[in-house]
Amino acid sequence: MYLYNSATHKKETFTTHTPGHVEMYTCGPTVYHYAHIGNLRSYIMEDVLEKFLRYEGWDVHRVMNITDVGHLASDADTGEDKMLKGAKREHKSVMEIAKFYTDAFFADCEKLNIKTPDVVEPATDCIGEYIKIVSGLIDKGYAYLAGGNVYFDTSKLGRYYIFNDHDEEDLAVGVREGVEEDTNKRNKNDFVLWFTKSKFEDQALKWDSPWGVGYPGWHIECTGISLKHNGEYLDIHCGGIDNAFPHHTNEIAQSEAYLGHPWCKQWFHVHHLNTNSGKMSKSKGEFLTVSLLEEKGYDPLAYRLFCLQSHYRKSLVFTWENLDNAQGTYQKLIRRVAALKDGGGAVDQEVVGQYKEKFIQQVGNDLNTSMGVTALYDVLKAKANDETKLAILRDFDQVLGLSLLEKAAALREKEAAQTASTGEGGFTITGEGDPAIDALVLQRAQAKKAKNFAEADRIRDELKAQGIEVTDTKDGAVWKRI
């Protein structure tokens, strides 16, 4: 597999410290609010990466953190703790907020077919690891105490900026968030490893440490969790492009200073999801969630397809029109798969192997998911029997995660149910496969046939109250939600 490495700014052959085995780390959510679909774009693409590596035969061990303390409103160590902000907003404890939004995050992941990592570790479970690392950095001369906090001294590094080819907007997090100057820092790029004074009065969670009662800085959390579960050599670190600086830059600084050797060779960054007004952001109060997409009638997997149609290293523009197009494409794709018949014929394994080899070559070129989607259409047009096509589609969907065969089976069942709902005189109900709605539509038709128009109008009003619009046709009735 060839993969772009943000640390070297070029595509490289993917290699690992231990042949055949991948230690993978994903920056998880700060669970103070719902994840927006821009956040989830990163997790979709990281999910495809993990599934593709497994598909190629790698043994993957993937770790994700849950940030439930220490992430301040600015990524540059100033402002209010985001968890405390969420707790105040909802008049709950920080741990109640953390539990609720962690559960909500993984519920969204399930809807999007994002696999849960092998290890999911809340930051608050690893305080001992952070204290050990911070103590080691102080002993080695890479950290200092000032104003009650412990800071990492970036002047001790030969090179601090690792991801220096990113746009200025991506790098200037502090400028974007309106950061006030921290006069305790020796150098402008120094960052907090352990807080005891900064915003301490409002902090809900705090622990004893050699430097006083306090709490960990955001950056040390990922280092501590990764060293605990991935070991001293990390093969690939994933996250959104906005994490590259300062978060990932600081992770590299503290990890390599502590370990005394290179830590992670491969860095995988997913670019922003933008709206017409710019990058989607919780701080602006204008973010879209998976639940909102569902409320508007979209299948979450249509959003997954929308993401797969673009390359992860390109900014993606979200509009409702674009999502409409993705939903239409997804529905047509499911319908084409549903038209394939598994009649018990023999699967041509040679053809399967040929298509699989091409799929690996195309998607393995810097995770080119758009070519992976194109490969689905190539299979549907192939000169092969339906059983062979279904076998290939099932194989590819291990990576793409679009539930093609499951959705196709559900569509066939729905259409069979609609056919079964044909009443006397050939009256047919076409809708979204809801038996309760189908029954009301049929009752309305029977009332009209019996010239009981008052009853027909009553049922129509009942359907309308449920958000159902019924259109009469020469063969029956079509209904839809409005």
Task: Summarize pLDDT for 90-108 with one digit per residue, the tens.
Answer: 677 778 888 999 999 999 9
Comparing 184-188, 201-205, 269-273, the range with the smallest average pLDDT is 201-205
Q: In the numeric block, which tokens belong to residue 63?
A: 């770790």
Say what the pLDDT of residue 418 is. 62
On average, the pLDDT of the chain sits at 88
Residue 451 in tokens: 């010239």
Torsion of CA 477, 480, 481, 482, to 10 degrees: -100
Give pLDDT, residue 296: 93
SS3 (DSSP) at 409: helix
Residue 92: what pLDDT?
A: 72
Tokens for 228, please give them: 């605990």
Instruction: Kindly indicate the confidence band of residue 359, based on its pLDDT and cuts at 50, 70 and 90.
Output: very high
Higher pLDDT, 285 or 464: 464
When pLDDT is averaged across residues 433-447 and rounded to a whole number, the result is 84
Q: Is the pLDDT of residue 283 over 90?
A: no
Provide the H-helix boundaries in 232-385: 249-259, 290-295, 300-308, 320-338, 349-363, 369-380
Tokens matching residue 187: 């150098």
Beta carbons of 119 and 62 less than 8 angstroms apart: yes
- Asked if 125 and 64 count as a contact pair (C-beta separation under 8 A), the reply is no
Tokens matching residue 459: 């049922």
pLDDT of residue 107: 97
Half-sphere exposure for 386 (CA within 13 Å, toward CB)? 11
Q: 122 near 228, Cβ under 8 Å?
A: no
| Statement: residue 80 has pLDDT above 80 | no
How high is the pLDDT of residue 473?
83
Compute CA distances 111 → 1, 32, 42, 115, whole Å. 28, 20, 15, 10
**Residue 19 confidence (pLDDT):** 97
Burial bucket for residue 390 (CB in 10 Å: 0-12, 13-18, 19+):
buried
Residue of 50, 56, 47, 58 lying closest to 19 (CA atoms): 58
Convert the pLDDT of each residue in 176-193 to its tens digit: 333 456 788 999 999 999
What are the residue ranges spanned by the domains of the chain?
2-287, 311-408, 421-481
Torsion of CA 65, 110, 241, 229, to 10 degrees: 30
Mean pLDDT of 336-344: 90
Two structure tokens written together for 101: 């939004």
What does the angle CA 156 – CA 159 – CA 165 come to, to the nearest 5 degrees? 150
What pLDDT, on the 0 to 100 scale, is given for residue 282? 58
Average pLDDT over residues 39-52: 97
What pLDDT sits at residue 320?
94
Rounded Cα–Cα distance for residues 408 and 296 (Å): 22
Q: What confidence score (pLDDT) does residue 70 get?
A: 54
Lowest model confidence (mean pLDDT) among 29-33, 61-65, 372-376, 434-438: 434-438
pLDDT at position 432 over 80: no
The DSSP secondary structure of 121-167, one letter per residue, reads EEGGG-HHHHHHHHHHHHHTTSEEEETTEEEE-GGG-S---S-TTS-
**CA–CA distance from 372 to each of 269, 307, 418, 478 (Å)?**
19, 12, 33, 35
Q: Compute the distance between CA of residue 265 and CA of residue 255 in angstroms, rounded to an integer.
A: 12
Each residue's pLDDT tens digit, 378-397: 999 999 999 999 999 999 99
CATH architecture assignment, domain 311-408: Up-down Bundle (1.20)
pLDDT of res. 445: 87
Percent of the chain topping pLDDT 90: 67
Asked if the model's pLDDT at residue 458 lies above 50, the reply is: yes
Q: How far is residue 46 from each of residues 40, 248, 280, 311, measured CA to CA in Å? A: 10, 16, 19, 12
More confident residue, 424 or 110: 110
pLDDT, tens digit (0-9, with 9 covering 90-100), for 128-160: 999 999 999 999 999 999 998 999 999 999 999
pLDDT tens per residue, range 103-124: 999 999 999 999 999 999 999 9
Both tokens assigned to 331 = 């529905």
List the CATH code of the domain at 2-287: 3.40.50.620
Tokens of 23: 């230690």
Question: Whole-structure pTM over 0.85, yes or no?
Answer: no
